Chain A
Amino acid sequence: MPSQDNPNDRMALLQGTLDLLILRTLVLGSCHGQGIARSIQRQSEEVLFVDHGSLYLALQRLEDKKWISAKWGVSENNRKARFYSLTAKGRRQLLEKTSEWQRLTRAMGLILDGRPTSEGA
């Protein structure tokens, strides 16, 4: 089991959301696994915790599906790293998954709050 520092502050990711987050992160440009993890944590204001084991499996899965592509390269600080970037197929998936997610959160909001949550949560 991966250790968690502050289980109360951090939230484990919902099943299936990690793929979407990875795709979203890669819209900004190619990035390596560690960078993706950092970026998700930072952008979610340290709320979302990325299990690194799952992250790399997810990256592998997305690569197998040809939504992202990978190649070894060198990072800014001269470390060897595997860089992932979005493919055209991945881009289409991102749009589709994003609207799917928005419909889901709207529906959840309607039930939990009696009104739709703010657009684009």
Chain B
Amino acid sequence: MFRRKRSTDDFAEEIKSHFDLEADELQSEGLNEEEARRRARVEFGNAQAAKERFYLSGRIVWFDNLLHDIKFAIRQLIRNPSFASIAIVTLALSIASNSTIFSWINSTLLNPIPGIAHTSDMITIMRGERSEHPTPPFSYLDFADLRDRTQSFTGMLAYHDDYMAITGSDKPERVYGAVVSSNYFEVLGVRPILGRSLESTAPNERLGVAEVVLSYGLWQKRFGADPSIVGKAMQINLHPYTIVGVAPEGFQGCKTGLRSDLWIPVGMDPQISGSGRIRNRDTIWLNVLGKLKPGIDHRQAENELNILMQHIAAQFPDAHQGPNTISSDPLWRSPFGVNVYLYGTLPMLFALAVVLLLLACANVANLLLVRSVARRRELAIRLSMGATRWRLVLQLMVENGMIALAGGGLALLLTTWTAHGLSAFLPATTLPLTLNGSVDRTVFVATLMISLLTAAVSGILPALRASSLSPMSALKDEALSTSGGIHKSRLAGGLVVGQIALSMLLLVCAGLFVRSLQSEQNSDPGFDPNHVFLAYFDLTPMGYSRAQAIAFDRQMVVRLKSLPGVQSVTLGDFAPLSFSIRTDFIQAEGYVPGKNESMEVDRGMAGPEYLRTARTALLAGRDFTDSDDAGARPVSIVNKALADRYWPGQDAIGKRLQVAGRWTTVVGVAANGKYRRLVYDPAPLVLIPLWQRFTTDQILYVRVAGDPLSYASSVERTLHGLNADLPLYNETTLAANMRLGNAFERIEAAFAGSFGLLALILAAVGVYGVVAYATKQRTHEIGIRMAIGAGHQDIFRQVLGGGLRLAGFGVALGLIISFALTRYLRGMLYGVGTADWLTFVVVAILLCVVTLIACFVPARRAASVDPMQALRAE
């Protein structure tokens, strides 16, 4: 490192030569040789000191010291393995909590578009007010006009993602693809690794070219990483396409947490979706992302877009009857993709993990304090040998740094495993979710920083305290006089109070989240999720016409109904609480919407006997039947929330309701239910018959007696009996499937819960350590007390009382902190207040009981002290 060119040996040689020269000269002045040498040495002074000063003047010293300290620290830790392992495991667990959550934050909020380094200048654009479940906000024509007119962006792209089917081979495969504007790859700055991106000739954008860019994953999996894939043909939704490029590894589209497998030009949408929406200004279906020009912030861009949108709305008033305001969001809290559910949850969990880490720091600090007392003699000797206090502090900090780094290393190992844990909370789903963290360079560096910070926080107080002793007194009173001890136990007591307070906070949060999850799961979803088997399938690859597909559906329902144990069967394009319900715009007979009022409601397509199969109560009218098909009069079923909102106090049955441009007659009113998330209040919902609107992407519901999954093979056999090629994507139960709807609440509860549990253990260990140590220190005093008549009971009670006093202070402090902080959880809790007294009381009692248990062993030991022995030990 900073080694100077000249060695210490060379320097020593020069000093030796000095002696020789000086001696020669003195000799020539008349002294004899021996006297001359002696004089030369005396004249020079302390040669050793000069050499030392030469050595010290080199900048290498601190490095030598550090190496020495590290070696010494490792020896010390090996010599005391129980201390080292407790400290390392404590830190490893709490650092891993932080690094795990950070790895998730890193892969979602910090890197919203995997494969793209800079997303800070990109915003998502949304129609209307910000909402957690927005529909794609723009029609193609509006998007194209905005893109041409705006001055705020260097580029604005649009995309629409949906399921597609790769057909034309023996094994049709369902993928998640996107139709995208021609500048999509250009704006994102993504360069294909093979071939080119989509033709970016805007004039032809609307007409489209039948070409496709594959994702790296699809290219690997489906096409065996064929290097000459470019130019080859493939079939998507039964139409031929030319493969023009392969996207780089990692890039998977621009919706956080959702994977796209292929991209095709937006002009091909009519072919892909079978809809003419690309020509309609009043069908809104495109997601829009903009890349801001340098120096323009997203508020300015939003203002400009709003003005442009007002012009467009004034020009085409018929197509712009809904809300026409525009709002925008940075990608880290984009309402499209998973970030909308994570941008509150993950930072909150990270804050809890930091509290846990503080707790662990307090524990390690306590361990260090106890240990520094055992090492007083060693430190005193070093001080009296001339070590400065700074050197001692440095050495102790290095020791603690080694512990923290070992803990950090272990935590990193744990994190490589736990980073993938986020997806464990998601049930099997057909959604292309890719929710995962990984240990990349950012996470590695962050973990290292957290470890070093931990070392500093936990080590500084004990190091300062340990090095503040005066060598004389420390060496004199070997027997650990109480003077030093009282001081230390006051600091240790303070740390324990802090620990109890912090674990109170974590336990209260844990309690609140668990209670919230409980009340959520006990809430009535508006349907009965038990005993329902679900199967996802897609008719697209079969190449049926609509009439053929409906005939297939009918036959399937009839055959399944005849299976023993099957009670009822229905179909749908959605399953409740699995992010599959969509929305549509409605017009209600006799209801005049306010200006810019959004008439967008949840909309599901359902087969005959939907309400009966889901066991959603029918409040009035009838369920869908077998005869509600394309030939019959268009009908709909609304829920109570919709009826109450648009026809308050009136009978909804028989009212006319326009759904996505088509008038229907309301034939039934269903009870309210939860369709998106359990934590949401019931929202207006309209159901329309599957066979009147139709989609090939269907979900089969089979209500059975007994365990639904035991019907899997017979359902499968029946379906494949109708068509052996029918691809079934996901076979599950309604109860398991709806776990997706509270995945984020389960993540919160699971982590807050385990942090709380760890906190409780840490606090118990902390209390035990301090009380045991303080009691041991007071052995002499206890001996005296007993000698002058205190009973075992008195001593026992005294020690327990001391522990309880700490607990009392800690709980009181914890209550104050918790009351102050839990109100920030308000938006995340369901069915439980942030100041839920039951949680607070239970946690307070729990902490007191745990403290008592932790004090029990030291108290017993103290009470069994033999006074004679205790006094003699001095």
Q: A75-B21, A81-B17 given as contacts; is B50 within 8 A of A52 (CB)?
A: yes
Query: How far apart sit A56 and B6, CA to CA, in the bound complex (Å)?
Result: 13
Interface residues of B in 1-52 (CB under 8 A from A): 4, 6, 11, 13-15, 17-18, 20-22, 24-25, 42-47, 49-50
With a cutoff of 8 Å between Cβ atoms, the chain A residues found around residue B24 in the complex are 77, 79
**Are A57 and B53 touching (Cβ within 8 A)?**
yes
**Are A34 and B50 touching (Cβ within 8 A)?**
no
**Are A2 and B45 touching (Cβ within 8 A)?**
yes
Query: How far apart sit A51 and B43, CA to CA, in the bound complex (Å)?
Result: 9
Let me know if B275 is at the binding interface, CB within 8 A.
no
Number of chain B interface residues as a range: 20 to 34
Q: Which of B4, B6, B11, B44 contacts A52 (CB 8 A)?
A: B44
Query: How far apart sit A38 and B24, CA to CA, in the bound complex (Å)?
Result: 13
Q: Which of B17, B20, B22, B54 contacts A57 (CB 8 A)?
A: B54
With a cutoff of 8 Å between Cβ atoms, the chain A residues found around residue B17 in the complex are 32, 34, 79-82
**Are A81 and B21 touching (Cβ within 8 A)?**
yes
With a cutoff of 8 Å between Cβ atoms, the chain A residues found around residue B25 in the complex are 34, 38
Let me know if A99 is at the binding interface, CB within 8 A.
no
Let me know if B57 is at the binding interface, CB within 8 A.
yes
- Residue ID in chain A nearest B46 by CB atoms: A2
With a cutoff of 8 Å between Cβ atoms, the chain B residues found around residue A35 in the complex are 21
**Are A56 and B49 touching (Cβ within 8 A)?**
no
**Are B14 and A33 touching (Cβ within 8 A)?**
yes
Q: Which of B18, B46, B53 contacts A33 (CB 8 A)?
A: B18
**Are B21 and A56 touching (Cβ within 8 A)?**
no
Let me know if A53 is at the binding interface, CB within 8 A.
yes
**Are B44 and A2 touching (Cβ within 8 A)?**
yes
Interface residues of A in 48-81 (CB under 8 A from B): 51-53, 56-57, 60-61, 64, 75, 77, 79-81
Over the window 93-119 of chain B, the binary record of Cβ atoms lying under 8 Å from chain A Cβ atoms (1 yes, 0 no) is 000000000000000000000000000
Let me know if A3 is at the binding interface, CB within 8 A.
yes
Interface residues of A in 21-60 (CB under 8 A from B): 32-35, 38, 51-53, 56-57, 60
- Residue ID in chain B nearest A60 by CB atoms: B54
With a cutoff of 8 Å between Cβ atoms, the chain B residues found around residue A77 in the complex are 21, 24
**Are A53 and B57 touching (Cβ within 8 A)?**
no
Q: Which of A53, A75, A80, A81 contacts B45 (CB 8 A)?
A: A53
Let me know if A111 is at the binding interface, CB within 8 A.
no
Query: How far apart sit A99 and B47, CA to CA, in the bound complex (Å)?
Result: 34
Q: Which of A3, A33, A51, A53 contacts B42 (CB 8 A)?
A: A3
Query: How far apart sit A61 and B24, CA to CA, in the bound complex (Å)?
Result: 27
Sample (23) of A-B pairs whose CB atoms are under 8 Å apart: A1-B45, A1-B46, A3-B42, A34-B21, A34-B22, A34-B25, A51-B45, A52-B45, A52-B50, A53-B45, A53-B46, A53-B47, A56-B14, A57-B50, A57-B53, A60-B57, A61-B57, A64-B4, A77-B21, A77-B24, A79-B17, A79-B20, A79-B21
Other than the known A35-B21, A52-B18, A81-B21, what 15 A-B pairs have Cβ atoms closer than 8 Å? A1-B45, A32-B18, A34-B21, A34-B25, A53-B47, A56-B11, A56-B15, A56-B54, A60-B57, A64-B4, A77-B24, A79-B17, A79-B21, A81-B17, A82-B17
Instruction: Spell out B's residues near A (CB within 8 Å).
Output: 4, 6, 11, 13-15, 17-18, 20-22, 24-25, 42-47, 49-50, 53-54, 57
| 10 residue pairs, one from A and one from B, having the closest CB atoms | A2-B45, A53-B50, A34-B21, A52-B44, A34-B18, A82-B14, A81-B17, A79-B20, A34-B22, A77-B24
